[in-house]
């Protein structure tokens, strides 16, 4: 390899890694590509040759799937529940995290520990009494009830993450703000939040994905078709159209596409939310 | 720590029991929602597992360990729990090592890091429901993609009913779980790798270390804490696996892929709240014991070496 210059040799050294990565990427993405391709085929094509690409692209499948179930309601519910939950989590957790990180008061450690406690439990540990409570409060089978459950579930992680971030703020910032006559709430609103935008963004996208995808609690608490979220609606749709292959594939894609779009737009924020929270 | 926002000095003269309420007001809304809709039900689940109660009647009667007696003598409970353990054993090895190797490969290349990271993480963004339906169709007996592919490459002997065969169903669901979870390990390992000082790798290159030596003597030891976190995450997801199995097999055939969360969900559906809460409590004890025990062990080992 002497005839190759330094940089060319460098590039060749990386070649095995590229080959392995391309191989892994193809294996990982093939199922998704196959589902998208199958959604454009006819049932006959799928049955006779499941591996082939669609002969003629039948976008009609998507329309049939959309009108075959209340996807408009599922979409509305998912958007409404997720957006409201994310907004509430960001407001409540940033307020609490500011207090935990920057204020001295009796019970600070204990209260923070109580929040941490909630991250140690598997989901099933609360389901029985939660269902009972939601019936008791008339919040079962309600979008509002589901929002409260999701917010309560996301708060421990959100507070943990933001507290660690707020602790990194220099004390001088608060001191000078206080000298200028800035109250603690004004400091939170005018200085802390604007300066934390990247962290709030990462946390928001992370909570958005978790809430949008949630299934177990929605399955437990919602039993009216008009109140189902997308994951829940997809199960109902699949149960009904299991023999209609093309529509089933289209239904999966209708549910998957919004997540893919959000992911493409906010990929860096999402991965930051996962890794920043985990490495602290 | 200097507290710039503590009460102004003149207030110090006012009665001593005057306390600053602001910190509590900031926390209050979060505490209320968290306690009512998360912590409260967890604690209630623990206490109510010692009572006879159901969803609709408020009357409760203390019965001690009766529910536990039933659960611990129920073969299906142990069957489900053992499947969680099989899941856990596989999950700490397969998705974790896949994530580690892919992270190392991405770290080794120069161009396209963001692309490969984003593409390989893609399955991890979906709901368990979407993942399960993608794999339900892959495994489908005749409209699926797996069996025809095996025949195409001359492995026709391996075609089978992936979700219908009781010996295989659990492992088929594990493959779907792996597809959706190695990306998490990968991005966390990658972030950990990028935190390692490049000086160490440069020194290793100067000394002529090969890929394997770098991996075992630098990368893996430097990622000690990251490993602890990644594996702890697997403990939680493997012990709490639900959506993927619920949709792919429902725990079947004949309970061959049943897991604790499906067992608990089934009990709730049958209004057997006592058994559901007892089983959930046992599972919680197992999970807390496993995760804190593992973290303590890792801390002890890094401290003692």
Give the model confidence (pLDDT) of B6-45 as tens digits.
444 444 445 556 778 888 999 999 999 999 999 999 998 8
B44, B161: one domain: no
| Same domain as B151, residue B36 | no
B153 touches chain A (CB under 8 A): no
**B3 lies in a domain?**
no
**How buried is residue B268: exposed, middle or buried, by Cβ count under 10 Å (0-12/13-18/19+)?**
buried
Task: Tell the CATH superfamily of the A63-279 domain.
Answer: MetI-like (1.10.3720.10)
- Whether B37 sits inside 8 A of A148 (CB atoms) is yes
Q: What is the pLDDT of residue B6?
A: 47
**B238 has a chain A CB within 8 A of its CB:** no
Could you give the number of structural domains in chain B? 2
Quote the longest CA-to-CA distance of chain B: 88
| Phi, psi (rounded to 5 degrees) for A175 | -60, -45
Which chain B residue is nearest to residue A47, measuring alpha carbons? B143
> What residues contact A41, with CB distance under 8 A and at least 6 apart?
A52, A54, A55, A58, A246, A249
**Confidence grade of residue B101 (pLDDT, cut at 50, 70, 90):** very high
State the ipTM, two decimals.
0.88
Q: Are residues B49 and B169 in the same domain?
A: no
pLDDT tens series, chain A, 280 aa: 445 566 665 666 678 889 999 999 999 999 999 888 888 887 777 777 777 778 778 888 888 888 888 888 999 999 999 999 999 999 999 999 999 998 888 888 899 999 988 888 888 899 988 998 998 898 989 999 999 999 999 999 999 999 988 988 888 888 888 888 888 888 888 888 998 998 999 999 999 999 999 999 999 999 888 999 999 999 888 888 877 888 888 889 988 999 999 999 998 888 888 887 665 5
Residues B107 and B51 in one domain: no
Residue span of the structural domain in which B31 resides: 9-66
Question: Is the pLDDT assigned to residue B289 strictly greater than 60?
Answer: yes
Chain A residues touching B95 at Cβ < 8 A: none
The domain spans of chain A are 6-61, 63-279
Mutate to test the interface with A, among B7, B20, B22, B38 (most CBs of A within 10 A): B38
Do residues B169 and B40 both lie within one domain? no
Residue B3 has pLDDT above 50, yes or no: no
Residues in a beta bridge with B271: none
Same structural domain, B171 and B53: no
Positive or negative: CA dihedral B67, B72, B76, B81: positive
Which of residues B18, B39, B66 is at a domain's end? Answer: B66
- The dihedral region occupied by A154, where left means phi > 0, alpha psi between -120 and 50, and beta the remainder, is alpha
Closest CA to B179 of B133, B112, B223, B144: B133
Q: How far is A263 from chain B (nearest CA, A)?
A: 8
CA–CA distance, A270 with A212 (Å, rounded to integer): 14
pTM of the model: 0.89
Assign B117 a pLDDT band (cuts: 50, 70, 90).
very high
Q: Is the model more confident about A110 or about B3?
A: A110
Say if residues A230 and A75 touch (Cβ distance below 8 Å).
Answer: yes
């Amino acid at each position: 390899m002497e005839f190759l210059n330094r940089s060319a040799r460098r590039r060749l050294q990386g070649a095995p890694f590229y080959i392995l990565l391309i191989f892994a990427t193809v294996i990982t993405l093939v199922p998704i590509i196959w589902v998208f391709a199958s959604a454009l085929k006819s049932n006959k094509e799928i049955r006779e040759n499941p591996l082939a690409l669609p002969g003629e692209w039948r976008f009609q499948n998507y329309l049939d799937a959309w009108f075959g179930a209340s996807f408009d309601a599922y979409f509305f519910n998912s958007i409404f529940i997720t957006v409201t939950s994310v907004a509430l989590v960001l407001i409540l957790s940033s307020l609490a995290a500011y207090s935990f990180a920057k204020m001295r008061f009796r019970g600070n450690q204990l209260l923070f520990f109580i929040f941490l406690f909630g991250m140690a439990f598997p989901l099933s540990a609360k389901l029985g009494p939660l269902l009972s409570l939601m019936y008791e409060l008339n919040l079962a089978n309600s979008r509002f009830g589901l929002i409260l459950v999701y917010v309560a579930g996301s708060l421990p992680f959100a507070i943990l993450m933001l507290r660690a971030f707020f602790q990194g703020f220099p004390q001088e910032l608060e001191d000078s703000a206080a000298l200028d006559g800035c109250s603690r709430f004004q400091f939170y609103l005018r200085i802390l939040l604007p300066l934390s935008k990247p962290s709030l963004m990462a946390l928001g996208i992370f909570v958005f994905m978790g809430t949008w995808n949630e299934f177990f609690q929605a399955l437990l608490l919602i039993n009216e078709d008009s109140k189902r979220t997308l994951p829940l609606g997809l199960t109902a749709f699949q149960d009904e159209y299991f023999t209609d292959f093309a529509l089933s594939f289209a239904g999966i894609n209708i549910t998957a596409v919004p997540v893919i779009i959000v992911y493409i737009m906010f990929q860096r924020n999402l991965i930051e939310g996962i890794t920043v929270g985990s490495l602290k | 720590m200097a507290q710039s926002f503590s009460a102004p000095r003149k207030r110090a003269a006012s009665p001593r029991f005057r306390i600053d309420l602001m910190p509590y007001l900031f926390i209050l809304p979060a505490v209320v929602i968290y306690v009512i809709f998360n912590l409260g039900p967890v604690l209630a689940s623990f206490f109510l597992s010692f009572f006879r109660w159901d969803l609709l009647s408020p009357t409760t009667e203390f019965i001690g360990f009766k529910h536990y007696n039933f659960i611990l003598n129920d073969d299906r409970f142990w069957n489900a729990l053992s499947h969680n353990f099989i899941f856990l054993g596989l999950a700490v090895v397969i998705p974790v090592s896949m994530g580690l190797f892919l992270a190392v490969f991405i770290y080794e290349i120069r161009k396209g890091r963001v692309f490969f990271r984003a593409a390989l993480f893609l399955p991890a963004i979906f709901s368990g429901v979407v993942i399960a339906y993608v794999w339900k169709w892959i495994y489908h007996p005749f409209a699926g993609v797996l069996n025809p592919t095996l025949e195409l490459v001359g492995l026709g002997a391996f075609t089978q009913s992936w979700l219908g065969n009781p010996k295989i169903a659990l492992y088929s669901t594990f493959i779907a779980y792996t597809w959706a979870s190695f990306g998490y390990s990968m991005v966390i390992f990658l972030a950990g790798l990028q935190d390692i000082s490049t000086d160490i790798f440069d020194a290793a290159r100067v000394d002529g270390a090969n890929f394997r030596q770098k991996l075992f003597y630098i990368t893996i030891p430097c990622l000690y804490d990251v490993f602890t976190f990644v594996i702890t995450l697997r403990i939680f997801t493997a012990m709490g696996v639900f959506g993927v199995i619920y949709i792919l097999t429902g725990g079947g055939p004949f309970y061959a892929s049943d897991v604790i969360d499906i067992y608990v969900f089934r009990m709730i559906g049958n209004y057997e709240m006592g058994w559901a809460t007892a089983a959930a409590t046992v599972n919680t004890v197992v999970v807390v014991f496993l995760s804190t025990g593992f973290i303590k062990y890792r801390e002890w080992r890094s401290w003692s070496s």
